[in-house]
């Protein structure tokens, strides 16, 4: 077994299952030709969400098919292929199934119109940039990076997507959920006056983890167990709580200016993450407000048997709201709508077909950076400003030492992750 965590990609690719079949290279369709013809999708990261998003996209439009798959593990490609081709929903040919760290590059040489990115977020900036350079529309799962260096790379690729007229939709699906859209439109039209404060939570029990199996080296174990490793997930404050800060950014129409956070680890038996975070998010009242006079309470926790809550709330000068179907000054709104996981693909497909690009890259990058700031502040005990974070050279990488039980228990991993910059 490979005991060093820092396995080069080339080494890993050699030990991983071989590519299912040779690469097929096709030209992709140019923009403006997509009004009626069937659209083709490729998935990078064929786990739970990648597979689910493939079904959601095909449910969004019968004239849309998943035709290509890429993953570092052959078993994930095969599982996804079986699920998506069940009952003849689509055909995914051998030559369109790719395995390894370079699988995404091979998928981008096929004639897919849009790509679903659903790997752990560490890989997102690299994959997103490659998609945009290849001229593909993108559905990107959240979060979109784990550190400021990745955020800048993602934002730059988002701007390039604008220049190329490509559409980008993010898996922060509340922005495609009727309850949120109706409510937040009314709040932004003044239904509760000026917003003066907010709260948002992702408090739940333990998420899944995967014990190491015989034959897995350090890299394979961490990737299969990625929701427990900061360099891969960003910590759960980034991986999950980004949904909630995205709503706050949306309703306020701006990003945070400063974060003061705390957090701790109590019950985890694997990985190097915290179990809980609490933060004070400072948002500016207007462009002149450098202090951030609007305060938003943020909490996220993954511990069983505690009070759970996943929600967002704002208080204004004339009332308050849960951002999703209720406003104190109006009451309950009629917000029945499409499943947002399907709606987000409907919106992306409509934009591609009409050649009227939509691009959510900057919004989701700003929400992701908000939560990276919470992690940076909690890990260091320091206040972190937006200006510091957006310029930070923090660039998480896989650990370079043995992932033994002793090293994990001794907290060496945590020391490694926290060393660079201010995190
Ligand atoms: N929007 C939502 O509600 C929602 C829900 C669940 C997950 N997600 C997000 O979706 C993403 C995937 O989560 P998941 O639950 O499907 O995890 P998962 O572990 O089930 O799937 C991830 C897949 O990516 C593959 N992978 C890892 N590194 C890769 C690489 N370099 N190249 C190609 N493939 C690679 C893994 O082998 C695995 O098959 C995460 O960003 C997660 O936060 C979003």
**For residue 75, what is the domain's CATH number?**
3.40.50.720
- 302 belongs to a structural domain: yes
- 184 belongs to a structural domain: no
- 356 belongs to a structural domain: no
pLDDT of residue 25: 32
Report the alpha-carbon distance of residue 326 to residue 184 in Å, rounded: 10
pLDDT tens track, the chain, 423 positions: 233 343 333 343 333 333 333 333 333 344 446 777 899 999 999 999 999 999 999 999 999 999 999 999 999 999 999 999 998 999 999 999 999 999 999 999 999 999 999 999 999 999 999 999 999 999 999 999 999 999 999 999 999 999 999 999 999 999 999 999 999 999 999 999 999 999 999 999 999 999 889 888 888 989 999 999 999 999 999 999 999 999 999 999 999 999 999 999 888 878 889 999 999 999 999 989 989 999 999 999 999 999 999 999 999 999 999 999 999 999 999 888 889 999 999 999 999 999 999 999 999 999 999 999 999 999 999 999 999 999 999 999 887 666 676 666 666 555 555 543 433
Question: Does ligand 1 lie within 6 Å of residue 278's CB atom?
Answer: no
Nearest CA to ligand 1 atom 2: 171
pLDDT of residue 36: 78
Question: Does ligand 1 lie within 6 Å of residue 141's CB atom?
Answer: yes
Q: What is the pLDDT of residues 183-226, one digit of tens each?
A: 999 999 999 999 999 999 999 999 999 988 988 888 898 999 99
CATH code at position 215: 3.30.360.10
Distance 50 CA to ligand 1 centre (A): 6
Structure-block tokens of residue 59: 């449910």
pLDDT of residue 270: 80
- 351 belongs to a structural domain: no
- 1 belongs to a structural domain: no
Nearest CA to ligand 1 atom 18: 47
Within this chain, do residues 212 and 113 fall inside the same structural domain, yes or no? no
Phi-psi region of 283 (alpha: psi -120 to 50; beta: other; left: phi over 0): beta
Distance 288 CA to ligand 1 centre (A): 40
Within this chain, do residues 307 and 394 fall inside the same structural domain, yes or no? yes
Within this chain, do residues 226 and 329 fall inside the same structural domain, yes or no? yes
Helix (H, G, I), strand (E, B) or coil at 331: strand
Question: Does ligand 1 lie within 6 Å of residue 121's CB atom?
Answer: yes
Domain C-terminal end among 141, 174, 207: 174
Asked whether 340 and 173 are in contact (CB, 8 A), the reply is yes
Asked whether 183 and 177 are in contact (CB, 8 A), the reply is no
Within this chain, do residues 205 and 166 fall inside the same structural domain, yes or no? no
Question: Does ligand 1 lie within 6 Å of residue 113's CB atom?
Answer: no
Distance 49 CA to ligand 1 centre (A): 6
Within this chain, do residues 20 and 139 fall inside the same structural domain, yes or no? yes
Nearest CA to ligand 1 atom 13: 49
Tokens 């992702």, residue located = 202
pLDDT of residue 176: 97
Q: How many domains does the chain have?
A: 2
Distance 185 CA to ligand 1 centre (A): 31
Question: Does ligand 1 lie within 6 Å of residue 118's CB atom?
Answer: yes
Within this chain, do residues 315 and 375 fall inside the same structural domain, yes or no? yes
Which residues does 3 contact at the CB level (< 8 Å), separation at least 6? Answer: 217, 218, 402, 403, 404
Structural domain containing residue 75: 9-174
Phi-psi region of 242 (alpha: psi -120 to 50; beta: other; left: phi over 0): alpha
């Amino acid at each position: 077994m490979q005991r060093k965590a820092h396995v080069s990609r080339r080494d890993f690719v050699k030990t991983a299952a071989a590519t299912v079949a040779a690469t097929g290279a096709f030209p992709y369709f140019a923009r403006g030709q997509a009004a009626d013809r069937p659209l083709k999708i490729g998935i990078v990261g064929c786990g739970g969400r990648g597979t689910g998003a493939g079904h959601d996209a095909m449910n969004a439009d019968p004239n849309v098919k998943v035709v290509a798959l890429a993953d570092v593990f052959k078993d994930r490609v095969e599982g996804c292929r079986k699920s998506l081709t069940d009952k003849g929903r689509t055909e995914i040919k051998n030559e369109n199934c790719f395995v390894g760290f370079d699988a995404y590059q091979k998928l981008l040489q096929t004639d897919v119109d849009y790509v679903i990115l659903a790997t752990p977020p560490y890989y997102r900036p690299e994959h997103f940039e490659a998609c945009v350079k290849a001229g593909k529309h993108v559905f990107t799962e959240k979060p979109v990076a784990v550190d400021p260096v990745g955020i800048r790379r993602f934002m730059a690729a988002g701007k390039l997507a604008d220049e190329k007229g490509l559409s980008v939709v993010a898996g922060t699906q509340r922005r495609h959920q009727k309850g949120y859209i109706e409510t937040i439109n009314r709040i932004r039209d003044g239904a509760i006056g000026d917003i003066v404060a907010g709260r948002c939570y992702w408090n739940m029990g333990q998420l899944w983890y995967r014990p190491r199996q015989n034959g897995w080296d350090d890299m394979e174990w961490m990737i299969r167990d990625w929701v427990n490793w900061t360099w891969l997930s960003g910590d759960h404050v980034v991986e999950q709580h980004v949904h909630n800060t995205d709503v706050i950014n949306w309703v306020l129409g701006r990003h945070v200016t400063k974060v003061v956070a705390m957090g701790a680890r109590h019950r985890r038996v694997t990985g190097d993450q915290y179990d809980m975070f609490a933060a004070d998010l400072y948002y500016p009242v207007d462009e002149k407000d450098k202090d951030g006079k609007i305060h938003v309470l943020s909490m996220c926790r993954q511990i069983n048997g505690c009070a759970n809550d996943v929600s967002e709330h704002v208080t204004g000068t004339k009332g308050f709201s849960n951002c999703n179907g209720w406003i104190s000054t109006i009451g309950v709104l009629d917000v029945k709508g499409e499943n947002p996981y399907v709606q987000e693909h409907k919106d992306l497909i409509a934009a591609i077909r009409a050649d009227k690009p939509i691009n959510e890259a900057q919004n989701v990058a700003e929400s992701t950076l908000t939560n990276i700031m919470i992690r940076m502040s909690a890990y260091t005990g320091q206040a972190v400003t937006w200006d510091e974070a957006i310029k930070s050279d923090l660039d998480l990488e896989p650990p370079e030492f043995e992932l033994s039980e002793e090293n994990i228990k001794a907290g060496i991993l945590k020391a490694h992750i926290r060393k660079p910059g201010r995190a």
